[in-house]
Amino acid sequence: PLSNVTKEAKNLLQSLDKQTLKFSSGAIDHINQEKALSYVATSCNDGVVLLHRKFPEAAQLPPGTIVEVGRATNDGPPLDWRHSEVSSLPGLCETFSGTLERHEGKTFAFLRSAAEDVFVPPDLAQEFEPGEVCHRTCVALRRANKKGKVGWRAVRFV
């Protein structure tokens, strides 16, 4: 029986394709397990989808991870990705430390830092009791909300 060389063949083809790809930086915004994709924010209003069936390793990356996405054209589909050597993208993905406040009757919270206020969505704020005030550090993305207002949103605590 012949050995399975699928993985080696795929790696060889990808290494040949990488020479023509244009890589752009972004940060993992969120992971949608139901749709099997990771969304990479590349600006406040834009991003790229990494499908887990094509890029299974992307499913393991926590939100806030800085990656570089390779595409043949600026608006083309992602053909490859790699970890970035940088730990933040100024103006897009940064780390903030400050006082976390969750008010009574609210499912969300805010991290008040010296530089900016960071919105903490309900899925992250639920671990804090209403009325609780504590010092925390988070990784946040600068994104536009549904109404178009741009601000910082926590994606994970460190």
Distance in angstroms (rounded) separating the CA atoms of residues 72 and 18: 9
- Average pLDDT (80-89) is 94
Measuring CA to CA, which residue among 136, 93, 96 is closest to residue 115? 96
**CA Rg value for the chain:** 18
Tokens of 86: 């940088």
If one counts every other C-beta atom within 10 angstroms of the C-beta of residue 71, the result is 17
Tokens of 5: 């060389």
For the cut 90, the answer to whether the pLDDT of residue 142 exceeds it is yes
Which of the pair, 16 or 121, is modelled with greater confidence?
Answer: 121
Residue with tokens 């990356």: 61
Q: Look at residue 135 in the predicted model and tell me its pLDDT.
A: 95
Q: Which residues pair with 27 in a beta bridge?
A: 41, 66
Distance in angstroms (rounded) separating the CA atoms of residues 125 and 117: 14
- Average pLDDT (129-155) is 92
- Average pLDDT (111-129) is 93
DSSP string, 118-129: EEE-HHHHTTS-
- Residue 132 to residues 105, 111, 114, 128: CA-CA distances in angstroms? 12, 12, 19, 7
105 Rama class: left (phi>0) / alpha (psi -120 to 50) / beta: left
For the cut 60, the answer to whether the pLDDT of residue 120 exceeds it is yes
* Residue 9 pLDDT class (50, 70, 90 cuts): confident
For the cut 70, the answer to whether the pLDDT of residue 19 exceeds it is no
pLDDT in tens, 25-57: 999 999 999 999 999 999 999 999 999 999 999
